[in-house]
Amino acid sequence: MKTPILFAMAGLFLSLQLNAQTAEKAEPEFLKYQNSKWVDSIMKTLTPNERIAQLILVAAYSNRGEEHKQEILKLVKKQKIGGLIFFQGDPESQAELMNDYQQAAEVPLIGAIDAEWGLGMRLDSTISYPFQMALGAVQDDELIYKMGEEVARQVKRTGLHINLAPVVDVNNNPNNPVINYRSFGEDKQNVTRKGIAYMRGMQDHNVLTSAKHFPGHGDTDTDSHKALPQINHPFERLDSLEMYPFRELIDAGIGGVMVAHLNIPALDSTGVPSTLSKPIITGILKDSLGFNGLIITDAMNMKGVTTGNEPGVVDKKAILAGNDLLEFTEDVPRAIAEVRKAIKKGLITQKEIDARARKVLAVKQWVGLNEYEPTRTENILKYLNTPGAVLLNRQLVEASLTVLKNENNLLPLENLDELKIASVSIGTEEETVFQETLGLYTDVKHFQLAVDAGEEEIEAVEEALENYNLVIAGIHDQSKYPRNSVKLSEDLLDFVEDLAENDNTIISLFKNPYVLTRFDDIEETPALIEAYQDSEITQEMVAQLIFGGISANGKLPVSAGDKFKAGDGLEVEGGIRFKYTTPEDAGMNSEVLYSRVDSLMNEAINAKAIPGGQVLVAKDGKVVMYKAYGLHKYSDTIKVEKTDLYDLASVTKISSALPALMKLYDEDKFELEAGIDDYLPYFRHSNKAGIPFRQILAHQARFKPWIPYWKNTLRKNGSFRWNTFKKDSSARFPVQVSEDLWLHRNYKKKIFRAIKKSPLEKEAKYKYSGLVFYLLPSIVEEITGEDFRTYINRNFYDKLGATTLTYNPSGDFPLDRIVPTESDFLFRQKSIHGRVHDEGAIMMGGVSANAGLFANANDLAKLMQMYLNYGEYGGERYIAETTLKEFSKTQFPDNDNRRGLGFDKPNLKYKGEDNNTAKDASKDSFGHTGFTGTMVWVDPKEDLLYVFLSNRVLPTRENTRLYKLNTRTQIQQALYDAIKK
């Protein structure tokens, strides 16, 4: 069925239409089918009773077994009901059941569901989009339209046709127990815009929608599931506020309206529920508002309508009042019989029943049931949970986040090197996703306080927090739904008040915004974020907002007492640090990316090329993949975690002294045309004197590739010389090489002497050499007058939040977080764990620019992203753009040398499987690989970053399967393929 022009254009020009008054009232599309040939043909086959039955929706479940199925089949076959409304279950079972029910039906069944926030409202294993209160904060209504499109797609895929949404009640009563977070808010204009956007998104894709709960359920303090609420406002107020969104949606062409169970004296003085009120349904909804679409009752099993009314009888009353479709009829045979009696008594005519039946059949034709085909159930979960659907959910959550306070522009956080951060998750006993995500950005100490935390527990946390200059608190919900309630102990409430009064606090409320009134002085918090609900995605997003991974521009959809008013909300600009998201958010295909990388990693692990590893991929500053694979060692059961540290080997070359040299180059303290002897006078009378660093860093200085320093410590019998190693530490032997091996304090001089005396190659051409990188830390110290580690930590790692990027990690991290490397039976006679694998680096005390750094993929990626950004990250410039471009370009291409300054570059000519990078890596890309099985690479052309960490040298460096499989570059090519797709 072709989408009519009116609604096709609605999607294209939605933003214009939503902000303009509807020029002309639009009738529901399905009405054009009321007298179609198909409807005529069906009407001719229906008996009077069957025409009544078309007006009935029966409740169905996909999790209640065979007995329930047979009950429904009986109603379908014998009573010829018009349709079903599905409640709890799973999508595959529901689709299969609907197919069975349709097969049993003589007239196709209409299928309905309450999917206000998506199928997840009723069905497991499906997406729950943000509740409407959160959506009310979203400023881009096009996102709401897209949600409508996506929900329509999912609803249809489960075999259904009507979504009993959107809720367009204006929630102006904070104590409303039944609407509340289901409403877009208290501003009728905002509610209307959001309602129209959601409605159009669905109806443009032939899913009928039903605005609810007419004439407005927002100002009630009673749950109509349990009793009949009463609204005592005068007609003028009801007309101008409660009914306003319904009027606008009717004019915009909504197909259905659901009537609430309410007692509204100003509209009907008899006291009957609005569902049974002819003055309200016929007099106001039909006649005054001119609604000709499908009028649907709220569930007919709710206490608000059943009290004092018997099943069947109450359904008759609803029909007499003017409803077209009865939801959740409890006694179908009696309902039909009661309506037949009403016809005989002249309370309603058969003609009126027929007209309503035609309306229902017209809807069936509009949704395509005149050409019914069974719903396909294969791969239904994959179809429902597409990457696009998942991304939309994240986009909606991100767009909803509302910053209510941001004193001194605390958000997003800057100057990480000056912050000592603690997080407190309040209302939970375990580390939260919120805290886990905060930890992606820098070192954060986490605390938790349960709902019933007492004075002692709180005091212990308070005492610990005194050691930190920034506290990030998350107040979590204790229920599935963000109700207007707080279950925290009085002591915890006092604790939150104390936090709010500190000038070093960020508070994130993962709860209903009305709850803000329950916390004394929370409005005094320096930075306050309203997050609306406590889903894992929301927790992720708030953490990213705090550190500048994403922006915020949400506006509060309701007032929170006198603390905050509807419309409050500050804009916070993000995009300064990593955003952790999905591949589709960066224009990549997740199926291609995940399947290919997973396959290649599993191939390498199964071939025992590596025991495990980490892979991180970022594009456009967005981390789209960050996974850990396999084990620490082949022989153990310790799984690799994303927080584990790997020996970076030669990746150290571009991650330690090189950024220092570039910074010093910016400051005119380091020159590329100078030589080693200009900074280390010891080399003045050597064959290295005068060779410029441009040649040295490009590996074109005729230096020997390497020197096996450790071999010079051995006697002919294999024992160590007396002045090299001892089994215990002392003032003369302070350099630890292993648990029982300590190096002489002056041996570093011998290493320098060996480098100084090493001969030069005959020809000045490309030859990879690590010799100068042993010297670079000393050169940096000579230039700066500062300890090398202190310098790079202070100027780079601490500011980046790269807290695992470190030398000698066993001093700061437990061994079970450090992945082991080789079993060294040549030199150390030990399995290497927690210390650098490179023999020369460990003889330098573990601190060298040739090797020695450890990190996890995430922290290493921060440094690489700074390079990819040409010197900037986290809102701070580290290195000049011109400098990074100079260092990362090929220096001597005419000499068949691909290298930049320190950085590796793609081969000048592609070498097939022997190439050092993926085929599609651009000539502008740069990075490095490491002996232990590591690789980092960035490509400015695609704004692409790739980190691969492994320990391929375990158990021995002779394991070269990783090279033979070409795993690292094959994975890199998969990234480009995912972009192409």
Residue 87: how many other CB atoms lie within 10 Å: 19
Separation of first and last alpha carbons in the chain: 30
- DSSP-assigned letter for residue 31: G
Q: Are 445 and 421 within 8 A, CB to CB? A: yes
Domains parsed from the chain with CATH numbers: 50-384 (3.20.20.300), 401-577 (3.40.50.1700), 593-980 (3.40.710.10)
309 sits in the region (left: phi over 0; alpha: psi -120 to 50; else beta) called beta
Place 981 in a pLDDT band, splitting at 50, 70 and 90: confident
540 vs 528, 534, 878, 914, CA distance in Å?
16, 10, 27, 41
pLDDT of residue 709: 79
Q: Are 795 and 656 within 8 A, CB to CB? A: no
pLDDT score of 612 more than 50? yes
When pLDDT is averaged across residues 944-953 and rounded to a whole number, the result is 98
Q: Are 628 and 829 within 8 A, CB to CB? A: no
Distance from C-alpha of 64 to C-alpha of 70, rounded to nearest angstrom: 11
Residues 298-357: pLDDT tens digits? 999 999 899 999 999 999 999 999 999 999 999 999 999 999 999 999 999 999 999 999
Residue 391: how many other CB atoms lie within 10 Å: 16
pLDDT of residue 9: 33
Q: Could you please report the per-residue DSSP string of 933-953?
A: TEEEEEETTTTEEEEEEE-TT
Three-state DSSP class for 631? strand
| CA quadruple 9, 11, 16, 21: dihedral sign | positive
Three-state DSSP class for 629? strand
- DSSP-assigned letter for residue 125: T
Can you read off the two tokens belonging to residue 156? Answer: 């249809």
Residues 508-563: pLDDT tens digits? 999 999 999 999 999 999 999 999 999 999 999 999 999 999 999 999 999 999 99
Residue 189: how many other CB atoms lie within 10 Å: 13
Can you read off the two tokens belonging to residue 470? Answer: 């920034």
Residues 725-783: pLDDT tens digits? 889 999 999 999 888 888 889 889 999 999 999 999 999 999 999 999 999 999 999 99
Q: Edge to edge, what strands does the sheet with 646-647 contain? A: 646-647, 853-855, 806-807
pLDDT of residue 6: 34
Distance from C-alpha of 618 to C-alpha of 623, rounded to nearest angstrom: 4
- DSSP-assigned letter for residue 661: H
Distance from C-alpha of 903 to C-alpha of 936, rounded to nearest angstrom: 10
Place 15 in a pLDDT band, splitting at 50, 70 and 90: very low
Secondary structure in 3-state letters for 291-342:
CCCEEEECCCCCHHHHCCCCCCHHHHHHHHHCCCEEECCCCHHHHHHHHHHH
Three-state DSSP class for 604? helix
**CB neighbour list of residue 759: distance below 8 Å, 6 or more residues apart:** 687, 704
pLDDT of residue 636: 86
pLDDT of residue 725: 84
Can you read off the two tokens belonging to residue 960? Answer: 């070269």
pLDDT of residue 143: 98
Distance from C-alpha of 149 to C-alpha of 127, rounded to nearest angstrom: 14
Secondary element (H or E) of residue 111: strand 110-113
Average pLDDT in the chain: 95
pLDDT of residue 475: 98
Q: Are 121 and 114 within 8 A, CB to CB? A: yes
Instruction: Tell me the backbone φ, ψ of residue 323, rounded to 5 degrees.
Output: -70, 150
Given the structure tokens 């590893």, which residue do they identify? 613
Distance from C-alpha of 801 to C-alpha of 522, rounded to nearest angstrom: 29
Three-state DSSP class for 535? coil
Residue 491: how many other CB atoms lie within 10 Å: 16
**CB neighbour list of residue 633: distance below 8 Å, 6 or more residues apart:** 611, 820, 954, 955
Can you read off the two tokens belonging to residue 456? Answer: 């002692």
pLDDT of residue 1: 37
pLDDT of residue 778: 97
When pLDDT is averaged across residues 262-286 and rounded to a whole number, the result is 97
pLDDT of residue 407: 97
More confident residue, 718 or 474: 474
Q: Are 867 and 927 within 8 A, CB to CB? A: no
Distance from C-alpha of 447 to C-alpha of 438, rounded to nearest angstrom: 13
- DSSP-assigned letter for residue 281: I
Omega cis (within 30) before 955: yes
Distance from C-alpha of 103 to C-alpha of 73, rounded to nearest angstrom: 10
Among 526, 481, 484, 520, smallest CA distance to 506 is for 526
Strands 162-163 and 110-113: parallel
Given the structure tokens 């479709």, which residue do they identify? 325
Strands 735-738 and 741-743: antiparallel
Residues 163-221: pLDDT tens digits? 999 999 999 999 999 999 999 999 999 999 999 999 999 999 999 999 999 999 999 99
When pLDDT is averaged across residues 821-846 and rounded to a whole number, the result is 90
**CB neighbour list of residue 774: distance below 8 Å, 6 or more residues apart:** 751, 752, 755, 840, 841, 844, 848, 849, 850
Given the structure tokens 């000499």, which residue do they identify? 895
Residues 102-116: pLDDT tens digits? 999 999 999 999 999
Distance from C-alpha of 618 to C-alpha of 861, rounded to nearest angstrom: 8
Three-state DSSP class for 471? strand
Place 57 in a pLDDT band, splitting at 50, 70 and 90: very high
pLDDT of residue 8: 34
Residue 308: how many other CB atoms lie within 10 Å: 10
pLDDT of residue 2: 36
Omega cis (within 30) before 213: yes
Among 875, 967, 97, smallest CA distance to 409 is for 875
Among 767, 938, 795, smallest CA distance to 860 is for 938
pLDDT score of 19 more than 70? no
Place 3 in a pLDDT band, splitting at 50, 70 and 90: very low
pLDDT score of 16 more than 80? no
Q: Are 384 and 91 within 8 A, CB to CB? A: yes
Three-state DSSP class for 418? helix
The amino acid at residue 868 is: L
pLDDT score of 501 more than 90? yes
Distance from C-alpha of 860 to C-alpha of 652, rounded to nearest angstrom: 10
When pLDDT is averaged across residues 834-853 and rounded to a whole number, the result is 94
Among 955, 899, 954, 951, smallest CA distance to 927 is for 899
Q: Could you please report the per-residue DSSP string of 868-928?
A: HTTSEETTEE-S-HHHHHHHTS-S-GGGT----SSSB---SS--GGG-SS-TT--TT-EEE
pLDDT score of 28 more than 90? yes
pLDDT of residue 5: 34
Q: Give Cα 925 distance to the centre of its chain.
A: 28
Secondary element (H or E) of residue 97: helix 91-104
pLDDT of residue 281: 98
- Of the ranges 606-620, 680-694, 708-722, which one carries the lowest mean pLDDT score? 708-722
Place 18 in a pLDDT band, splitting at 50, 70 and 90: very low
**CB neighbour list of residue 466: distance below 8 Å, 6 or more residues apart:** none
Can you read off the two tokens belonging to residue 147? Answer: 């949600």
